[in-house]
Chains A and B, each alone.
Chain A
Amino acid sequence: MELTKNITLGVYLPGKSFIHNLDPRTKIIAATIIIVLLLFSRSYPAFALSALFIAALIIFSGLPAGYVMRGLKPMLPVLAIMWVFQLFLFKDPDAAVYFQWWIFEATEAGLQMGNLIILRVLFLFTITTFLTLTTSVVSLTDGLESMLKPLQAIGLPSQELVMTLVIALRFVLILAEELEKIIKAQMARGVAFDRGNFIQKTRKIFPVFLPLFIGAFKRAEELIVAMDARSYTGGKGRTKMKTLHMGRVDLGAAALMIIYSGLLIYIITTTEPMI
């Protein structure tokens, strides 16, 4: 049982590519634009363009494509089951029927709906994983803090919220290691987590959850003391040793994003939607 092996979210792979060197704000804005456009994409040509664009980004970043997609592995069986259910359950009286058995009907609408949402899931996953793989948590924090600073004017504690997100990302791997130890300890005592029905499987989770939460809260108490001892006051009066600066490479990235967004919007508005 290697829980940490398939966790790619929150992991940073250092590199020297132009994507690694971009200002974190540029990367966050670009990822947001890609995600928003993705939610409006409903046709195969639109997804094809996004696939080409993201594939090019992965190649230019120098990251191993297999590693970027590794986190998807545990999700694949669920996605396959969901696609089948969507195929049979999405009803549209006008849609052509491909296959019929008992009360189940595989319609064209179901097929297109299944494809649409599976494609969305795959793209969302790849984009967010790619963002964290090419941006360190420190850069991500600096970028988010700088971007959300104006919201402080309306009373939103943006710096504190970013800190919360950073703690969450940082602790995923630490807690994963702890969880792995707890599960291995239970397995050494003869617990078989993959066997049994719903009730039996659920009961086996109880002795895993309690030590996980107790351990996490102990760490939280330590972190609270450490942050209080260093007089952490959120965003109030804080300055940065390294300030963010946008350069030529960011201008280039902005131009690239404008071209991609323009093309994608054109495709979205002119092509026939899947459903």
Chain B
Amino acid sequence: MNLSVRKIVISGILGAITILLGVTRLGFIPVPTPAGHATIIHIPVILGGILEGPAVGLITGAIFGLFSFLQPGAPFFADPLVSIFPRLFIGVVSYLVYFLSKKALNLNARPVLNTGPGEGAATGSTGPGSNISRILPCLLAGAFGSATNTVLVLSMATWRGYLPSEVSISIGFLHGVPELIVAAILTVILVQGIQRIRPSEDIT
């Protein structure tokens, strides 16, 4: 495996944001349930997968997992199988969903002539330059990345005996759904914003 300077730096900076959101507790939104809070700390990991590919997603996920193990935000994260292992998949799943949905949308696109970024959505087109083909892959990647985190963490916490299965399922719905919605919306906003300042337009 070869890591370019770009991949090293982006993984590091996104890793720093995950740590920062954890230690300042800004990435946690208090919810009165057994898990204590809904999280949005995994968003940098999702962004890593989308913007720089699976390797960056994996490394950022590993940093997220490592710090959630070493400085646990919830007691069951003191077990590496709950804190580190599930987080390795968030960025990879986000990348795969982003890549596949982008490919599917571009393949299904009808040829549209003279379509600007705004016009595509207005005409319902899914052409390469349209709003749908730019937004939908990010939305799906954010949602699937967030769902990966919720499902895997709760499954591991249940399997290791920290949470009864009924509690895990209720947390999955109470936290997983709002987390998924917030992650999907934030992913779209952040990817659009970050793309504007990046030197290359092609992010795959």
Interface check B107, CB cutoff 8 A: no
The reply to whether B79 and A224 contact each other, CB–CB distance below 8 Å, is no
The reply to whether B16 and A169 contact each other, CB–CB distance below 8 Å, is yes
The reply to whether B75 and A82 contact each other, CB–CB distance below 8 Å, is yes
Interface check A264, CB cutoff 8 A: no
Interface check B135, CB cutoff 8 A: no
The majority secondary structure among interface residues of chain B is helix
- B contact residues around A75 at 8 Å (CB): 25, 73
Interface residue tally of chain B, by bracket?
A: 35 or more
Interface check B31, CB cutoff 8 A: yes
Which chain A residues in 187-234 approach chain B with CB under 8 Å?
198, 201-202, 205-206, 208-210, 212-214, 216-221, 223-224, 227-228, 232, 234
- B contact residues around A10 at 8 Å (CB): 19
- A contact residues around B199 at 8 Å (CB): 221
Interface centre among A7, A79, A168, A228 (most CB of B within 10 A): A168
The reply to whether B72 and A217 contact each other, CB–CB distance below 8 Å, is no
Interface check B147, CB cutoff 8 A: no
Q: Which residue of chain A is the closest to B28 with respect to CB atoms?
A: A78
Interface check B114, CB cutoff 8 A: no
Interface check B178, CB cutoff 8 A: yes
- B contact residues around A161 at 8 Å (CB): 3, 59
The reply to whether A213 and B190 contact each other, CB–CB distance below 8 Å, is yes
Q: Which residue of chain B is the closest to A78 with respect to CB atoms?
A: B36
Interface check B94, CB cutoff 8 A: no
- B contact residues around A114 at 8 Å (CB): 75
Which chain B residues in 152-166 approach chain A with CB under 8 Å?
162-164
In the complex, how many angstroms separate the beta carbon of A235 from the nearest chain B beta carbon?
A: 11
Interface size in chain A (residues, C-beta < 8 A): 72
The reply to whether A124 and B72 contact each other, CB–CB distance below 8 Å, is yes
The reply to whether A86 and B20 contact each other, CB–CB distance below 8 Å, is no
Interface check B5, CB cutoff 8 A: yes
Q: How far is the CA of A212 from the CA of B194 in the complex (A)?
A: 11
Interface check B9, CB cutoff 8 A: yes
In the complex, 7 of the A-B residue pairs with CB atoms within 8 angstroms, ordered by the A residue number, are A82-B36, A120-B72, A125-B72, A167-B16, A179-B26, A209-B190, A234-B3
Interface residue ranges, B against A (CB under 8 Å): 1-3, 5-6, 8-17, 19-20, 23-26, 28-31, 34, 36-38, 40, 43-44, 47, 59, 63, 67, 69-80, 162-164, 167, 178, 182, 185-186, 189-190, 193-194, 197-199
